[in-house]
Amino acid sequence: MNIKNIKNLFNAYFIENWKTDLFQFGILAAIVLFGTLTSNSGGTYSNIPVAISSIMLMIYPERLFRNLHGASSKIHYLSIPASTGEKLLVNMLLANIYMVAVVVLACVVGYGLAHLYWIMRGFDVAFHHGPHIYPSGVLFIYMLLSVFFFGSIYFRKRTTLSTFGVGLLIGVIFSVLFSLILWVNGMMLVPKGAAFHDYVWSLDYSVDISEKVEETLLYVLMGVMIVYFYALSFLRLRETEA
Amino acid sequence: MIRLENIQFGYVKSKRLFDDVTLTMEPGHIYGLLGKNGAGKTTLLKIMTGLLFPNAGNATILSENASLRKADALQNLYFLQEEMYVPHLKIAQFEAAYAPFYPNFSHEQFEYYLSEFELAGAPNYLDKLSHGQKKKALIAFALATNTQILIMDEPTNGLDIPSKSTFRKLMASAADDSRLVLISTHQVRDLHSLIDMVAILDNGHMLLNASTYEITQKLLFDVDDSRTTEGTVFYTEETPRGNYQVKENVNGLDSNLDLELLFNAAMMKKNEIANLFK
């Protein structure tokens, strides 16, 4: 890893993208502003901006790797004098820190302006807490981000949609498999004369572990998934040909 | 500086484009890579630059495995592709974004090359320029990077006649003993006065890789047997000004290399020409 190459990659990114980023920042801030002003919840933080922010974060990797999706722009990107690791690291920092900061800042600005408007209009508005942030929720967003990050390198076009589609397909397949296993097992285990539905619901699925351990296991699992998808992204980018 | 050893490559397994390409290119020369349409010139350039990975064999650039695309190697290599990509940036912004990647980039040279191509102070965004202007801007940038290896794929495509002259002039001035320039083209007349090494690619093999000096030592470019009637004639082309010939230079006579005639001769008498330069 060469710090100078990393600095140069950031420099090139900001020269090329600062206007688009500023535009997205403005759009999101405006959505939060008008969403908050028009909400019937008396100035409480609407969930709509959270959803839009999440979508913005998920589609951002497609923009980061857009040069990989055209024949000549791919050659341009792959020929930039920086190693695969440096290119990947810079885009990871942009997706996981920079764009998250842009999105959070846009929400804060939009929400703050809405309250400023109410105060100027003379309404007695108490500042409400923002959305409650669960660490597992944040980690889940970062895990999704790593999946879309990989998808934006793996797929050649419409990468966000393709990743979403494949993710959905895998989800459906696993659900069907799980249901099938449960059904087959259930059929074998259900005592004669008992209703299958009643039997399945009567089973105790809980595992005897503390909530803390359960939570830790969830974090570890998501952490492993994040590392796994970024490792896959590195390997895929290294093997990408023009 | 560039070494290809026993390269085998095919976009599909059943159809090989290269069977066994071996080639060494050294600094201090301007190479012309010639070949028919579909011969695989661009593919070969991509293998050299690590943009495509060979199925077998080794591609080495600046003593590094090309496929690894190491930053140190890429800093000393510039590949100007035929179908250029330019971001939505003005020329000065493009320079600010990408020049820092090249340690030997010269702003003064870039300004000079742009002025020679009549692009100095161009206010437009690069992607709004005409194809020829985009090409000229990128040629100016490529030359100003001062990389040890400069690879250009069909650089004169889309250039008008004055720009082609300017291109030749700038290329001649930019070449030095430490630099390797490789130009792939099918417009051989554009390179006639420029190159000093000729590589001809045909049917998955390197048919010829020789200096212009060596070529004129072994081949005679004659009109109507005016110099000599001796030597095997490899190729004859009838023109209103007489019959142009490429024949074996058995008497060691001097003649001017005609790339187009050489290429046609190599296509007509592949084995004979290849054997002559073995």
**Pick from B121, B267, B181: nearest CA to B1:** B181
Beta strands in chain B (DSSP E): 2-9, 18-25, 29-35, 56-61, 64-65, 77-80, 149-153, 180-185, 197-202, 205-211, 219-223, 233-239, 242-248
Name which residue leads in pLDDT, A63 or B228: A63
Residue of A nearest to B89 (CA): A16
Considering CB atoms only, which of B52, B96, B101 is closest to A80? Answer: B101
Residue B247: beta bridge partners?
B220, B233
Q: Of the ranges A74-88, A178-192, B252-266, which one carries the lowest mean pLDDT score?
A: A178-192
- pLDDT of A5 > 80? The answer is yes
Q: A123: which residues sit within 8 A by CB, 6+ positions away? A: none
pLDDT tier, A173 (very low <50, low <70, confident <90, very high otherwise): very high
Q: Which two tokens stand for residue B176?
A: 């030095």
Distance CA B159, CA B189 (A): 13
- pLDDT of A204 > 80? The answer is no
| B70 and A CB contact within 8 Å | yes
Tell me the longest C-alpha to C-alpha distance in chain B.
61
pLDDT at A215: 84
Distance CA B60, CA B258 (A): 31
**Pick from B239, B206, B245, B208: nearest CA to B223:** B245
What single string gives the DSSP state of each residue in B9-55?
Answer: E-SBTTB-SEEEEEEEE-TTEEEEEEE-TTSSHHHHHHHHTTSS--S
Name which residue leads in pLDDT, A22 or A47: A22
pLDDT tens-digit profile, chain B (278 residues)? 899 999 999 998 788 889 889 999 999 999 999 988 888 999 999 999 999 999 999 999 999 999 999 999 999 999 999 988 999 999 999 999 999 999 999 999 999 999 999 888 777 899 999 999 999 999 999 999 999 999 999 998 888 889 998 999 899 888 888 999 999 988 787 787 888 999 999 888 888 999 999 999 989 988 876 767 777 888 988 888 888 889 888 888 888 888 889 999 999 888 888 888 88
**Pick from A118, A120, A110, A101: nearest CA to A45:** A110
Distance CA A99, CA B2 (A): 41
Q: What is the pLDDT of residues A34-46, one digit of tens each?
A: 888 877 555 455 6
Strands B197-202 and B29-35, sheet pairing: parallel
Asked if residues B100 and A11 have their Cβ atoms less than 8 Å apart, the reply is: yes
Torsion angles phi and psi, residue A43, rounded to 5: 85, 5
- pLDDT of A51 > 70? The answer is yes
- 8 Å CB contact of A82 and B85: no
Our CA angle for A115, A118, A124, nearest 5°, is 100
Dihedral of the alpha carbons of A112, A113, A117, A118, in degrees to the nearest 10: -20
Q: Residue written as tokens 């908050």?
A: A36
SS3 B237: strand
Task: Kindly report the number of other CB atoms within 10 A of residue A51's CB atom.
Answer: 10
- pLDDT of A7 > 80? The answer is yes
Task: Kindly report the number of other CB atoms within 10 A of residue A95's CB atom.
Answer: 23
- Average pLDDT in chain A: 86
Strands B56-61 and B2-9, sheet pairing: antiparallel
The CA radius of gyration of chain B, in Å to the nearest whole number, is: 20
Distance CA B216, CA B218 (A): 5
Residue B242: beta bridge partners?
B239
Average pLDDT over residues A55-82: 93
Average pLDDT over residues A64-83: 93
Q: HSE-up of B202 (CA within 13 Å, CB side)?
A: 17
| B157 and A CB contact within 8 Å | no
Asked if residues B43 and B17 have their Cβ atoms less than 8 Å apart, the reply is: yes
> Which positions in chain A touch B49 (Cβ < 8 Å)?
79
Residue of A nearest to B92 (CA): A15
Report CA-CA distances (Å) from A35 to A28, A57, A109, A111, A120.
10, 19, 13, 9, 18
Considering CB atoms only, which of B53, B69, B97 is closest to A11? Answer: B97
Residue B7: beta bridge partners?
B21
pLDDT tier, A151 (very low <50, low <70, confident <90, very high otherwise): very high
Residue B152: beta bridge partners?
B80, B183
ipTM of the complex: 0.88
- pLDDT of A127 > 70? The answer is no
- 8 Å CB contact of A78 and B85: no
> Which positions in chain A touch B89 (Cβ < 8 Å)?
15-16
Distance CA B194, CA B168 (A): 7
Q: Which two tokens stand for residue B35?
A: 């070949």
Residue of B nearest to A5 (CA): B101
- Angle, to 10 degrees, between the axis of helix B91-98 and the axis of helix B131-144? 40
pLDDT at B189: 78
